[in-house]
Amino acid sequence: MASQTAVTQWVLDHPLPVALVGALLTVRLLTSVFYPAKKSTIPHLPETIPILSNTYQYMTDMTTFLARCRTHLTAQTPIFQFRLGPEKIYMLTTARNIQALFRTSPAISPDKFLCLVYEHVAGFPEKDMNRIKADKTGRMRTPAGATKEGDDGSGLDRYFYPMHVIVHEHLVQAHKTDALALRFQSLFEDRLAKRFPLTTDTGESEWITALVYNDLLLSDTTSAATGTLAGTRILQTEPDLPNLLWEMDEGAAKLVWGLPKWMNRSIWRKRDALLAACRRHVEREWEGFDWEGEESKKDWEEVWGASVTRESLRWLKREGWEVGSLAGTLAVMYIFGSNANTTPVVGWCLIEILRSPTLFQTVRSEVAKAIVTDPVTSTRHIDIQKLLASPLLQSIYVEAMRLHVSMNITREVMEPIQVGGHELEKGSLIQAPTEVSHLDEGIWGAEGHPAGEFWAERHVKYVERVGEDGRTEKVPQFSMTGRASDWYPYGGGPSMCPGRFFAKQEIILTFSILVSRFDIEFVGWTHKDGSPSDRGPQNDVRWSGAASVPPDRDMKVRWKRVW
């Protein structure tokens, strides 16, 4: 009787795992009826209870699941399969297989995963979700499945292609990205000037003790990046926006796969709060904005921010999409998705630079080469193009992304396709976990610098060059030769992240501005609330497989602005 009560109590105390196991058992039963096992040469990921164990671990403990993937995915066995409930998933690695995944082919589509994001995270209304799900025509001008030559898809209700065109015109083109980077730089420096005012007597600010990640980056970088992409007006009318965004971030990875509302109401409430703020903004500003005027042609204006945001929303409205889809696009593509992925990487770059006094000084000298002084006003600024040319700074950026972006890049098999000598079944999913390729010792390991460790110079090589005086000298060069395909934090192929150029500029600019304009002293490691911690930060495993992974602890520093 006592043990029966204990079991009942355990069940009552653990509603989530119990409900999940119940649901999985049902799925298992239905699956064995509707999906009878077919013979396949692709090995299965071992598990104790068929379908259940792997699914449960995938949903509840991605870090351990990915650690198992790292042991099972090898050069000899670069692909295996497992079931995530009713879905068959192939997990794969090696540059060759990844390249196959990223090629433009009607047999492979990235849309299913994006649809999950639109539906569960961006909250697109049902009618619009049906339009997106019905669009099987891909991102190319010629619709996938076009039957006659010259078919340009006119007359079809397309979503992915027109959005692809807008995003590429306004985000990928170099002059657009450069304009965004300049805007970010000026908004970020304005924030810093307000927060760390220079005193008239010393020309420097007061010393301030603060947490690098939770105090500074989560507020000041977020405001500058949001102001750049989504405009500064929304930050004035919805001042709580940065908090809403980071509150939603706590559970966003769980939302993607459609976690039912009753299982975690607070995550849904936070999502709804961010979406509601964006919806209010769209409703408040739409009518008053002159959609034909001068402002509507600029690279940036304060109401919608970057032209990519304005043009995405303009297109959706013109094509009859509901206001909920406009708000979801603003919230998830241009506010949440961008901040939630760039900020953790900036955080890691800073943590690595500041924890080593030698690296801090080296980075400072490197950034100094990109500082330009105006001959008339004597004011200084950082020249972004010079900064981005630095081999060391690029290497630090690539290294932080390698170690701290963990995404299972997902594709759907639309037609049976051969990958790595195996035929993959139509209707199944393929995932390439960045965590497996990015931590591969054989690819990234170097003597004294194992793949799992941060090494600022991992992507710098020294090449001989004949100088102007005729003497041979060794100069540093940024290099990923031979391993570029094993680094894919931005995915690849037609759906490759179009924000990657801006993200790189934002990340390198942010840590360079802080390191060059501030004197900084390390005080100690802390928990997120500022209480002392006995260790430095590690990846916060709750984000594994789904995003850039933030640090689970923080770094307390004393700093003052010196210019």
- How many Å apart are CA 77 and CA 41, to the nearest integer? 11
Task: Look at residue 557 and give its three-state secondary structure.
Answer: strand
Contact region with ligand HEM (CB under 6 A), list: 1-9, 390-398, 403-411, 517-525: 403-411
Which residue, 63 or 548, is less far from ligand HEM as judged by CB?
Answer: 548
For residue 115, say whether it is annotated as part of any ligand binding site: no
Q: Give yes or no for a contact between 140 and 104, defined as CB atoms under 8 angstroms apart.
A: yes
- Tell which one of 85, 337, 347, 545 touches ligand HEM (CB under 6 A): 337
Residue 14 to residues 10, 45, 458, Cα–Cα distance (Å): 6, 27, 45
Counting residues that bind ligand HEM (by CB under 6 A) gives 28
**Interface residue with ligand HEM, options 229, 235, 417, 549 (CB under 6 A):** 229
Minimum Å distance from CB 187 to ligand HEM?
Answer: 15
3-state secondary structure of 496: coil
Distance set, CA 52 to CA 37, 61, 334 (Å): 16, 13, 37
Interaction with ligand HEM in 113-132: which residues (CB under 6 A)? 114
Q: Which DSSP category does 551 fall into?
A: B
Contact 559, 207 (CB under 8 A): yes
Among 336, 548, 559, 560, binds ligand HEM (CB under 6 A): 548
Determine the interface stretch with ligand HEM among 65-73, 124-132, 369-377, 491-499 (rule: CB under 6 A): 491-499
- Partners of residue 212 on adjacent β-strands: none
Token reading at 361: 């000084």
Strands 417-419 and 422-424, bridge-based pairing: antiparallel
Contact predicate 555/212, CB 8 Å: yes
Listed in sequence order, the residues at least 6 apart from 543 whose beta carbon sits closer than 8 Å to its beta carbon are 253, 344, 406, 549, 550
SS3 track for 408-470: EEEEEECCCEEECCEEECCCCEEEEEHHHHHCCHHHHCECCECCCCCCCCCCEEEEEEECCCC
- The whole-angstrom distance between residue 15's C-alpha and the CA centroid of its chain comes to 31
Q: Is 338 in the site for ligand HEM (CB under 6 A)?
A: yes
Residue 24 token pair: 């999985």
Closer to ligand HEM by Cβ: residue 433 or 491? 491
Q: At closest approach, how far in Å is the CB of 505 from ligand HEM?
A: 10
Residue 490 contacts ligand HEM per CB under 6 A: yes
Q: Does 330 bind ligand HEM (CB under 6 A)?
A: no
Supply the minimum distance, in Å, between the C-beta of residue 495 and ligand HEM. 4
Torsion angles phi and psi, residue 228, rounded to 5? -65, -50
Q: Which residue from 20, 244, 326, 405 is in contact with ligand HEM, where contact means CB under 6 A?
A: 405
Nearer to ligand HEM, 411 or 458 (CB): 411
- Does the footprint of ligand HEM cover residue 100 (CB under 6 A)? no
- Contact call for residue 409 and ligand HEM (CB under 6 A): yes
Using the minimum distance from each CB to ligand HEM, give the nearer residue, 20 or 514.
Answer: 514
The nearest distance, CB 410 to ligand HEM, in angstroms, is 7
By beta-carbon proximity to ligand HEM, the closer residue of 221 and 516 is 221
Residue (454 or 502) nearer to ligand HEM, CB: 502
> Which phi and psi angles does 141 have, rounded to 5°?
-60, -50
Q: Pick between residue 123 and residue 498 the one whose CB is nearest to ligand HEM.
A: 498
Distances (CA, A) of 296 to 282, 289, 314, 403, 499: 15, 8, 10, 40, 21
d(CA 344, CA 72): 28
Site for ligand HEM in 131-150 (CB under 6 A): none
The token duo for 11 is 């069940």
Region from 237-245, 391-399, 464-472, 499-507 binding ligand HEM, contact rule CB under 6 A: 499-507
Which of the residues 165 through 224 are near ligand HEM (CB under 6 A)?
167, 171
Asked if 489 is part of the footprint of ligand HEM (rule: CB under 6 A), the reply reads yes
407 scored as a contact of ligand HEM (CB under 6 A):
yes
Query: Whole-number minimum distance, CB 542 to ligand HEM, in Å?
Result: 17
Q: Of 20-28, 151-159, 190-198, 488-496, which part binds ligand HEM (CB under 6 A)?
A: 488-496
Alpha helices in 160-264 (DSSP H): 160-167, 174-195, 222-230, 233-237, 241-249, 252-256
Q: How far is the CB of 447 from ligand HEM (least distance, A)?
A: 29
Q: Find the shortest distance in angstroms from Cβ 441 to ligand HEM.
A: 23
Q: Which stretch binds ligand HEM (CB under 6 A): 60-68, 75-83, 91-99, 163-171?
A: 163-171
Residue number, 143 or 526, with CB nearest to ligand HEM: 143
Distance CA(560)–CA(198), nearest Å, equals 9
Measured from the CB atom, the residue of 167 and 439 that comes closer to ligand HEM is 167
345 near ligand HEM, rule: CB under 6 A: yes
Question: 509 vs 88, 197, 258, 488, 506, CA distance in Å?
Answer: 42, 20, 36, 21, 5
Residue ranges of the binding site: 497
* Interface with ligand HEM (CB under 6 A): 110, 114, 164, 167, 171, 229, 333, 337-338, 341-342, 345, 405, 407, 409, 489-493, 495-499, 502-503, 548
